A = this chain, B = another copy of it.
Amino acid sequence: MKTLTQRAGLATLAFARPPVVAAVASVAGRHEGAGPLGAAFDRVLTDDLQGEKSWERCEARMLEDAVDLAVQRLGWTAQDLDLLLAGDLLNQIISANFAARSLAVPFLGVYSACASYCQALGIGAALISGGYFSQVGAATVSHHLTAERQLRYPVELGVQRTPTQQWTVTAAGAAVLAQAGKGPRLTHATFGKVVDMGLKDPNDMGAAMAPAARATILRHLDDTGRTFADYDLIVTGDLARVGLNLLTELLAEAGHDPTGRLEDCGVRIYSPEQDVHSGGSGAGCASAVFAAHYYPQLQAGHIRRLLLVATGALHSPTSYQQGETIPTVAHAVAFEAEGT
């Protein structure tokens, strides 16, 4: 029965009708607004609640606002979307669920931790390229204070942070993918396998996730027959400094020279003076930094081809407490400037 169907054998989807990334938007917290990308975010919060009664409500609102800002840029409302794919880090992804309730659009919740943004973009692009939908939203969010109290410790405890630790960003990013129009195109998606090198330290997730990024990047290059030189930039989601250094080594070992072509959103979002230790992380890191920093460069043609590789740590406090190691994953999507 093995030959029931012919296996594609590829993990990479090459879109026959690559969707346009018609618009993006970002909403960032105060700490992120004080960083090097501060002026590039569409909206920066003035406090951690933004008038909501809880941080969790604020997080859902940020996601909702990011989607609204993106569709408004096209003169649309959220209800003009055929589908929203969204995710976050909270238990039962309540930020995405509550934002989708307000946005009133067909909704699929995605979860691959901080890799969720590329998962959402990849599925959305496949649904548009397949002719099923005309315009699809993809969005993710994280909030430092909800993540800390759920995944680590309540911030009020003042637990000391380790040097390898990352700072969960307060940020949301959204993109609108469309069947036609002007703008950069999403040409490929590579969905990763779960990689677990046996690491157990939830305060060093960059190191845990770097091998997943390596695996997905190599798989993508292999599937597409491309090399590093075919990309102006390969941008990881939130490996931060420790993870990015490790990935650079792992890629060099595999015979690739990523010098000058490898960056990380978690490094990009804060300045070294901001006391975030290794750098940023969080489901909203890749989406907000892509919207604020990389998308404009693709739009202007300063970057011709970019591979965004969002990375996620798939453990939970329960699995950690039960002595499990940290499974990780990376999903990648490739963008091309118009006319490339």
Chain A: how many interface residues by the 8 Å CB criterion? 76
A278 close to chain B: CB less than 8 A: no
**Choice from B91, B113, B319 contacting A56 with Cβ under 8 Å:** B319
Contact (Cβ within 8 A) B191 A106: yes
A168 close to chain B: CB less than 8 A: no
Most buried by B among A90, A108, A181: A108
Contact (Cβ within 8 A) B4 A74: yes
Contact (Cβ within 8 A) A87 B111: yes
Q: What is the count of identical protomers in the complex?
A: 2
Q: Give every chain B residue within 8 A of A131 (Cβ-Cβ).
A: 16
Q: Give every chain B residue within 8 A of A135 (Cβ-Cβ).
A: 4-5, 7
Q: Give every chain B residue within 8 A of A317 (Cβ-Cβ).
A: 91
Contact (Cβ within 8 A) B4 A181: yes
Contact (Cβ within 8 A) A107 B192: yes
Q: Given the known A-B contacts A87-B111, A92-B111, are A193 and B314 also in contact in the complex, defined by CB atoms under 8 Å?
A: no
What is the chain B residue whose CB lies nearest that of A183? B4
Q: Give every chain B residue within 8 A of A87 (Cβ-Cβ).
A: 111
Q: State in angstroms the CA–CA spacing of A111 and B94 once bound together.
A: 10
What is the chain B residue whose CB lies nearest that of A325? B101
Contact (Cβ within 8 A) B101 A194: yes
A50 close to chain B: CB less than 8 A: no
A180 close to chain B: CB less than 8 A: yes
Most buried by B among A5, A98, A123, A316: A5
What is the chain B residue whose CB lies nearest that of A73? B1
Q: Given the known A-B contacts A5-B178, A56-B322, are A111 and B113 also in contact in the complex, defined by CB atoms under 8 Å?
A: no
A287 close to chain B: CB less than 8 A: no
A sample of 28 inter-chain contacts (CB < 8 A) reads A4-B22, A4-B74, A4-B135, A5-B135, A5-B178, A5-B180, A6-B134, A7-B134, A8-B82, A9-B82, A11-B82, A11-B83, A56-B318, A91-B92, A91-B318, A92-B316, A94-B314, A98-B319, A100-B193, A100-B327, A101-B194, A104-B193, A106-B191, A106-B192, A109-B111, A110-B110, A111-B111, A129-B130
Chain A positions near chain B (C-beta within 8 angstroms): 1-2, 4-11, 13, 16, 22, 53-54, 56-57, 74-76, 80, 82-83, 87, 89-94, 97-98, 100-101, 104-113, 119, 123, 126-127, 129-135, 150, 178-181, 191-194, 196, 314-319, 322, 324, 327, 329, 331
